[in-house]
Structures are given as structure tokens and as C-alpha cells.
Copies of this chain bind each other. A is one copy, B any other.
């Protein structure tokens, strides 16, 4: 089955202590769509401007991503610029130019509306909701978010949570959203807001799932070198949705392994700037790291 991915499609200029890379292909939808494409057909919803490089369109196409829902508008592509500190955990935004994203309204092509798996990657919750409004009985809907929306669009986000099956957020966001300092309390509070499945991302400390089947603690893949963590969270959730859409059996039974696959794709994402590494990953390399994680976590 195919995965519909909506989110930001952007140009990212990323500075780390050792390098600077201007106008890479970025955005939550780009990372999530490429990650999902390793497992399932993907339909992308987004918007880019007249300055969007052809080579990036070709990159999507190379991954078999359906671009019928990618709007091309007069104006500039959303441009984000950020800088990482030495530890690669802390980053600060240097620049945000919304460009054509400012007036973006996602319109779904007719055949997108029947997609079984819907990934509402990180964008404004009102846009995520607008996509959901157009869907015809999706099987499994997951929303990702970021602290920005908790700060400026909390009401929209809370409304959205009533309508999704799964919700993905990072640890500090879980505490911020629920005012609970204990993670189990936070998970309980988020379930009450709607989602049956809650996944908490903890960066290099792995991730955590709370579902009707109980808790699952997933390890991170230990990386020799983190080059650029931008998009790792989007790759994680993209990998999860791609895996789920292709796996046989119920979401309940597949979600743990889906998280391991998502973890692995996210680990590759961190090994290159933007999508440089992810887009060169092979299926065999993914399977090899999944196997490694199995060995790392076994006791």
C-alpha cells in the first residue's frame, strides 16, 4: 500500500562546526518521503518555488515518489538555515524564509485521497488537518510535530490529535505538551488527547512507543560519526510509515519492527548533509543495520 506524505519541502542551508552546505534538499516531507520510499510507494504533497533545482525533482523521482501533489508556484522555495554546536545536539535557526510556503494550501489529487497510510509530517497543524479533511477513510494516520507548533498553534494541534491514530514527538515536547515531568504520565496524558499510538523520539537515546500492546523501548543505532542530524526525526517516522504500509499483518504487530527500520533510516540520514547519505542507501545496507540492532539489543 502507498503512503501519502505531507509536510515541508524546503532548501536547507546547514552549518556545522566543520562544514557549511547551502541550499540542500530538505524539509520534513522530503526526508520522510525518501525514507518511506525504501519500503513502499510514496505520494508527496508539498509546495516549491520557481528556484527549486531540477536535480531535486529528479532525486524524488529516482525514489519513485509520486509528485502529482507537489505544487510548483511562482516565488521562492521555503528556505531554512541553521547551525549546529559541536555536540550536534543543540542547533539554532539562523534564517527562515517561508517563500511560497506562506500561502500553501495542500490540495490532494484524486488518487491521493484513497491512500491507506497518511503521514502528516511536521508542518502547521492546520495544514495537517486540511489534508485529513480530504482523505477518504485512511487506514492509519500519524502526525509528527515540533516545539514551534506547541508554542504558536497549540489549539490546532490539540484538535488534530483527536483525529490521528499515531503521534510522534520528542521528549521535551512531550513534557511541554502535557506538563508531566514523568514520561509515563506524559504518555498517558497524550493518549487521553486522542492518539492510540504515541512515539517519543529521544535522539541518540533511541525512542519509545506506547500502544495498546504496552510499552516498547527502541535503541538508537550508535553512529561512529554524526555529520548532520537535520531530518533524522522525519526519516525515522517516514521509515516507520513506509515499513507499516508494506508489512503484512496488523499495525499493532508490526509497529516495533517498523520503529527499528525507522531508526536505521534515521541513522543513515545523520551520516551525510541533508539527504546526501539517505539517497545513496541500499536495501541491503538497511537490512544489515537492522541485524546489527538486533544483536545490540539482545539479552
A225 interface hit (Cβ, 8 Å): yes
Q: Say whether B295 contacts A256, CB under 8 Å.
A: no
CB <8 Å contact, B222 and A184: yes
The 0/1 profile, CB within 8 Å of B marked 1, for residues 239-259 of chain A is 000000000000000001101
Chain A facing B: main interface SS? mixed
User: Beyond A87-B181, A205-B202, A297-B299, is A219–B222 a contact (Cβ under 8 Å)?
Assistant: no
B256 close to A214 (CB less than 8 A): no
Contact check: which of B86, B184, B214, B259 meets A299 at CB < 8 Å?
A: B259
For chain A, give the interface size range: 35 or more
Q: How far is the CA of A206 from the CA of B259 in the complex (A)?
A: 18
Residue ID in chain B nearest A204 by CB atoms: B183
Which of A185, A217, A259 has the most chain B CB atoms closer than 10 A to its own CB?
A: A217
Q: Are B295 and A214 in contact (CB under 8 A)?
A: yes
The yes or no answer to A226 lying at the interface (CB within 8 A) is yes
| B-chain residues with CB within 8 Å of residue A208 when the two chains form the complex | 222
Are A222 and B299 in contact (CB-based, < 8 A)? no
Interface positions, chain A 18-62, Cβ under 8 Å from B, are: none
Q: How far is the CB of A197 from chain B (nearest CB, A)?
A: 15
- Contacting B at CB under 8 A, from A195-223, are 202, 204-206, 208, 214-220, 222-223
Residues in chain A within 8 A of chain B (CB atoms): 86-88, 181-185, 202, 204-206, 208, 214-220, 222-226, 256-257, 259-260, 294-299
